[in-house]
Amino acid sequence: MKITYRQAPYACTLIGLAVAILGMFHSEIAFAQEDDLAPLSPVSGTVALSGRVLGPGGKPAAGVAVGIISQWAGIPGLGEIFKVTTDDAGVFHLLAVKPYGAPRYAFGIWARDDRHKLMGATFAKLPAPEQGITLSTEQLIEVHLAPAAYIHTGAFDANGQPLRNMMAQLFLTEGGLGGLMNAGQIDPTGNILVGPLPAGIGLRLQSPPELWPLALNDAWTTGLKGDIRLSPGQTYELPALRVDMDGRKASGLVQDEQGLPVAGAQVTCNVPTLCANAVTDGKGRFTITRLPIKGDIWLIASHPSELLHVMQKVDPNAGDAMLVVHPLTSAKGQFVDDKGRPVKRANVQAAPCIRSANGWMIWQAPSVRMVGVLTDDDGFFEVKNIVVGAPYMLVLQIPGVAAIGPGGTDFTAKPGKPIDFGALTATGAR
């Protein structure tokens, strides 16, 4: 195998791929100069690959489709579009794309013989290429075909009705790729047969992320229960996904600081793209639906014209929630370095965060957003438009230095005076 790295401007890489498809598969590929074409996508280089596909008996497999599996080609359909066919000796030539900024280039090659229902894949990692570097070996990449495998499963709502036309996503966990690919659509009966798939590689099946909070089971919602590794010719029976499309619901009352009902307040949750947002009636009452099935529920009430907001964790099973809206507040302090010198003109951000089992989860809702300000020449800052009750993390961003979140800077504002952090030491600042 001769592997040649070439630095390629973004648009040129696409042209290089098109050239490869047309059959111009030489390991040395010339590209236009970067000034000739406008950037289109974050790609920083290409790798010319050669290999051989062997059938179950070890004989060269001619006329077999071959394509790239990579983080870049993991975009649904791309790995299928940019594919080639083996020659009479089972040999193929491909052009792979190195994602921008990748410390190591992980890639895979799949091969599929539809006529005989065979499939295979192999994976490798290469050092990050630099301009002019050429790596050469004497052997071709080998892809061995075996009887194709499949995953059979289904998706249904809480009443047992099929979730028709829902897309399933296949998550590749092999070779350090971690790329998503389209697995197909649920059919009218609620079933799906995913495949053909290569045996022996790590796979996970996922539903669209927006449905994860509504799942009644974790059969294949997030894929956190471990990889599926298929045997040649196997049809793996994966339990069906069950989703409550209505989710949980919560009711309650929105009041101001004087205890008066707030009519026309907007109420949403910590998954604003999921929940069916509500508006309070003349008595300040609301009912919100499509709340997540599992985990904590946070409700956000806001009255934009009055600039009153609140965020509060509630239990939908504990009766009516009482949400008291307050004026926006602020958080102030001073950042200094290890030697006590002020950190000047650095970006201070208050990021809405909810601490989950896996750590912090950063999110934004229409009325609870990331807000920031620059430190002054003495390192002082005051971040405004902080929502009372919302959990935040204070983050310092300095040019040339990774984001710094000093210990003890996750905070929740309370009604009344602004938060004053005092002096905060930014370790690593300069």
Q: Which residue, 117, 16, 123, is CA-closest to 65?
A: 117
Same domain, 210 and 287: no
Same domain, 320 and 340: no
* pLDDT for the residue numbered 400: 60
* Torsion of Cα atoms, 299 then 303 then 309 then 310, to 10°: -30
CA separation, residue 27 to residues 1, 236, 264, 336, 422 (Å): 10, 39, 66, 53, 60
Give the lowest-confidence range in 120-134, 155-169, 257-271.
Answer: 120-134
Model confidence pLDDT, tens digit, residues 93-115: 877 655 444 445 566 788 999 99
Band of the pLDDT at 141, cuts 50, 70, 90? confident
Question: For the chain, what's the residue count?
Answer: 430
* Residue 430 within any structural domain of the chain: no
Same domain, 22 and 132: yes
User: Domain total for the chain?
Assistant: 4
Q: What is the rounded end-to-end Cα distance, in angstroms, of the chain? A: 47
Residue type at 134 in one-letter notation: T
Give the count of beta carbons closer than 10 Å to the beta carbon of residue 38: 9
Q: Which of 147, 174, 207 is the last residue of a domain?
A: 147
Q: Which of 278, 307, 327 is the last residue of a domain?
A: 327
* Residue 345 within any structural domain of the chain: yes
Same domain, 42 and 168: no
Residue showing tokens 């290890």: 338
Give the lowest-confidence range in 12-16, 400-404, 425-429.
Answer: 12-16
Same domain, 12 and 45: yes
Does the pLDDT at position 76 exceed 60? Answer: no
- Residue-range definition of the domain harbouring residue 64: 2-147
Tell me, rounded to whole angstroms, the distance of Cα 161 from its chain centroid.
29
* Residue 180 within any structural domain of the chain: yes
- Work out the average pLDDT over 120-127: 73
Same domain, 12 and 102: yes
Same domain, 22 and 142: yes
* Residue 383 within any structural domain of the chain: yes
Model confidence pLDDT, tens digit, residues 220-239: 855 445 678 889 999 999 89
Alpha carbon distance 183, 272 (integer Å)? 27
CATH of the domain at 302: 2.60.40.1120
Q: Which of 243, 277, 298 is the last residue of a domain?
A: 243
Does the pLDDT at position 331 exceed 50? Answer: yes
* pLDDT for the residue numbered 127: 54
Does the pLDDT at position 275 exceed 80? Answer: yes
* Residue 141 within any structural domain of the chain: yes
Asked whether the bond before 196 is cis by omega within 30 degrees of 0, the reply is: yes
Same domain, 322 and 339: no
Percent of the chain with pLDDT over 90: 33
Alpha carbon distance 325, 253 (integer Å)? 11
Task: List the Cα angle 351/352/356 in 5-degree steps.
Answer: 115
Same domain, 94 and 111: yes
* Most confident option among 21-30, 208-217, 343-352: 343-352
Q: Considering the entire predicted model, what is its pTM?
A: 0.65
**Averaged pLDDT of the chain:** 75
Model confidence pLDDT, tens digit, residues 9-52: 333 333 233 323 223 222 222 222 222 222 323 344 566 778 89
- Work out the average pLDDT over 287-308: 86
Under a CB-based contact definition with an 8 Å cutoff, are residues 344 and 332 in contact? no
* pLDDT for the residue numbered 217: 85
* Most confident option among 20-34, 56-70, 181-195, 275-289: 275-289
Does the pLDDT at position 75 exceed 70? Answer: no
Compare 35 and 160 and report the one with higher pLDDT.
160
Contacts of 146 (CB under 8 A, 6+ apart): 56, 118, 119, 120, 198, 199, 232, 233
Same domain, 9 and 136: yes
Band of the pLDDT at 346, cuts 50, 70, 90? confident
Structure tokens at 82: 């940019």
* Residue 69 within any structural domain of the chain: yes
* pLDDT for the residue numbered 361: 67
Same domain, 224 and 208: yes
* Residue 402 within any structural domain of the chain: yes
Same domain, 6 and 48: yes
Does the pLDDT at position 71 exceed 80? Answer: no
Residue type at 10 in one-letter notation: Y
